[in-house]
Amino acid sequence: MRQYIFSDLSNSDIQNLISRNADSGNEIREKVEQIISEVKINGDLALKNFASQFDKVELDSLFIGIDEINHLASGIEEDVKKAINVAYKNIKKFHETQISKEDKVETTAGVTCWREVRAIERVGLYIPGGTAVLPSTFLMLGVPAKIAGCKEIVVCSPPQKSATVNGYIAYVAQLLGVEKIFLAGGAQAVAAMAYGTESIPKVDKIFGPGNQFVTMAKTLIQSTTNTAIDMPAGPSEVLIIADETANPIFVAADLLAQCEHGIDSQGVLLCNSESIIKETLSEVEKQLAVLPRKEIAAKAIDNSYMVFVKDLDQAMTFSNEYAPEHLILATDNWQQISDKIINAGSVFAGNLTPESAGDYASGTNHTLPTSAYARSYSGVSLDSFVKKITFQHISESGIKNLGPTIEILAEIEGLQAHKNAVSVRLLQSRETSSKNQDC
């Protein structure tokens, strides 16, 4: 890991350090554009061809149904079922607290405004599979989609060699009541959900992580279709703020946990203790040596760095500039700095709170903004699966009270028809009042 001293860094040095938006390059873009075009034109046939080309699987059908889902789910280990059940319960409990109903407000006498929540009707969940089996991602996306009340949940996951999906993903589908899983992966799955094929329905919004091809596909379809995406995505990252109360063993484990995601992942340590930094470096080397994914993690560690800071306030200043996906406060004094957090996807407070907890089972959602998008995006939540529609109702007294204001504003903007829409109502109201008085 590279090492820096904060006081030696210029503003441009800091900006260079925090800049990590992945450049996918024209080559990936061109390949993804070709894949999208092929799916758009040839639908199911293109998906089967891509399954043969990329997944090395010949598919007769592009989906598995409820019977096969139940069969696959029945074969997983009992301890895994129990673990998934705990995660499901916690994620459900946390997201249910996000259900809200807003009060109506009378903005002017006789003018009432309010918002009502409606679920997005059809959502698409992309769940990576194959060698990277991610039942946790299925939980993180499927649970809030169900709570929100989405009418149709379209699930795509890459086919395994057996032309089906992993049993763990099938078990989550069973828990969620999902009765069909489509066997499509990569950019082609995103394209299928964006445009629709003979088998896969077109959806209104696509959720889920993926490699550079999936990320590029989501970026392209958002700009070329009316299908939305959850958020921009990039390589996974963690930033750790630590002081003399931190445990170097824990800090090293947290850095490596993030770095084993992929070679372009990144771990950053900001610490005001030179001894903690030295011990953490030693622990990183020791723990890295025995990791099954050590080659991947090692390359990500080369992409990572540590900064010696004067104090936690200085660390927080750097962190807010970085805007991390995951922010760990590895200090007993986390409550003293937590209110200074401005930009972060998800925060892990205290020395006994690993980022892994949020990845799997504490209840918060692990689908988070990366690459500094935490400056403007939140992580996935119940709100991600709903729309909030504004309503207003104006009574007779309301149009009398507010109408003249609208007429003036419409007139100064030169929109006579807008003014007339109010004026005719005011005229009718006056005529009705006059008739009532004559009676």
- Which of 326, 366, 407, 418 is catalytic? The answer is 326
CATH of domain 25-233+383-388: 3.40.50.1980
pTM: 0.94
Residues 6+ apart with CB under 8 A from 310: 6, 7, 272
d(CA 228, CA 438): 57
**Angle in degrees, CA 312, 360, 321, rounded to 5:** 30
d(CA 199, CA 245): 56
Distance of CA 386 to the CA centre of its chain: 14
- Which of 260, 283, 325, 355 is catalytic? The answer is 325
CB 273 within 8 A of CB 311: no
User: Which CATH superfamily hosts domain 2-21+234-363?
Assistant: Nitrogenase molybdenum iron protein domain (3.40.50.1980)
Alpha helices in 225-384 (DSSP H): 248-259, 274-288, 294-302, 312-322, 355-360
What confidence score (pLDDT) does residue 22 get? 55
What confidence score (pLDDT) does residue 429 get? 82
Do 25-233+383-388 and 2-21+234-363 fall under one CATH topology? yes
Q: What are phi and psi of 135, to 5 degrees?
A: -65, -25
What confidence score (pLDDT) does residue 434 get? 73
Give residue limits of the domains in the chain: 2-21+234-363, 25-233+383-388, 396-438
Instruction: Enter the tokens of residue 93.
Output: 């409990």
What confidence score (pLDDT) does residue 23 get? 57
What confidence score (pLDDT) does residue 316 get? 97
What confidence score (pLDDT) does residue 437 get? 72
Query: Is 326 part of the annotated catalytic residue set?
Result: yes
Q: What is the mean pLDDT of each run of 10 residues along the chain (439 residues)?
A: 94 92 76 97 98 95 97 96 98 97 97 98 91 84 98 96 93 97 97 98 95 92 94 91 98 97 95 97 97 96 96 97 97 96 98 97 96 95 98 97 98 98 93 73
- Burial state string for 144-172 with b = 16 or more CB within 10 A and e = fewer than 16: bbbbbebeebbbbbbbbeeebbbbbbbbb
Query: Is 325 part of the annotated catalytic residue set?
Result: yes
What confidence score (pLDDT) does residue 26 get? 87
Residues 6+ apart with CB under 8 A from 341: 316, 319, 320, 327, 347
DSSP code at position 162: T
What confidence score (pLDDT) does residue 134 get? 83
